[in-house]
Amino acid sequence: MIEFHAPAADAPELALSPLHRAASLTLRHLVESGPIGLTPSRALKRYFVTWAADAFAWPGYTTDELYALNKVLNEHDFPPLVVLHDLLLAAKLARHRKGFLHITRTGKDLFEHPGSLWITLAQHLLLANGHDDMVDIEWVSVLKAVNVEAHSGVTDKQFSTRLMGASDKDYHLKSLVYVHVLRPLCWLGLLQETRQNQSERFFTKTPLWPLALTFEGSLPLPSVTKH
């Protein structure tokens, strides 16, 4: 059994989650500046994408990094914003109406309760979203595996091998595990990703992990010595 816990509203560990920061900033924008315009295809309009890229300062997707690849920014050029947009709709924190994205009553309430906002984002990102390229994820087993494997640190290749039995050269499966498991946990602030080289990533649990997750019946893990 795994339990998610809402961090306290003033918990500094919430700052470790780029997704929580982006959601909070977007909800604040909706409260203070009003509805956000949508394109005919219901994507967020370019003026907001430009604002979001700067305001979110999302690791790996900063303004400089995005403009290095794009002359102008549309929503699909900023993948975390695409995910956030979908989550806001799925969690009913915002809704589309008459060509604009509007905040809902639930969105206004959770904007005032940051810990509950994080829980809502986590539940929808991990438990409610489908995975087109992969069998449904059994998150209880996966999170238990991450809890052990990332305690002292694990590479994406090592984790894919231990979780799925993937071979060292099964790059497609390693990519799926990264996109559907490791990256979402990083976006929630539960894991920290660092690069060891051009092709390998290294993951460790953050201080938000023990604050937000408990594992019933699990043995205590050894302390980690940091050098």
Q: Domain residue spans in the chain?
A: 12-128, 139-215
Are the C-beta atoms of residues 90 and 127 closer than 8 Å to each other?
no
Helix (H, G, I), strand (E, B) or coil at 154: strand
Least confident of 9-18, 68-77, 80-89, 158-167: 158-167
The mean pLDDT value for 88-115 works out to 97
DSSP state of 180: I
Q: Encoding tokens for residue 31?
A: 């409260």
Least confident of 17-26, 52-61, 164-173, 214-223: 214-223
Q: Is the pLDDT of residue 134 over 50?
A: no
Please give the sequence-ordered ranges of beta strands (E in DSSP) within 2-99, or none if there are none: 2-4, 36-37, 94-97
Strands 36-37 and 191-195: unpaired
Q: Is the pLDDT of residue 113 over 80?
A: yes
Burial code (b: 16+ CB inside 10 Å, e: under 16) for 200-219 equals: ebbbbbbebbebbbebeeee
Q: Is the pLDDT of residue 61 over 90?
A: yes
Q: Which of 135, 221, 222, 188 is nearest to 4 (CA)?
A: 188
| CB-neighbour burial class of residue 4 (10 A; exposed 0-12, middle 13-18, buried 19+) | middle
Which class is domain 139-215? Answer: mainly alpha
**What type of residue sits at position 214?**
T
State how far the Cα of 86 lies from the Cα of 43, in Å rounded to an integer.
10
Q: Which of 103, 124, 97, 109 is nearest to 42 (CA)?
A: 97
∠ CA 27-72-102, nearest 5°, is 20
pTM: 0.90
Q: What's the pLDDT score for residue 224?
A: 46
User: CATH fold of 12-128, please?
Assistant: Arc Repressor Mutant, subunit A (1.10.10)
State how far the Cα of 59 lies from the Cα of 208, in Å rounded to an integer.
17
The mean pLDDT value for 35-50 works out to 98
Q: What's the pLDDT score for residue 133?
A: 46
**CATH topology identical between 12-128 and 139-215:** yes
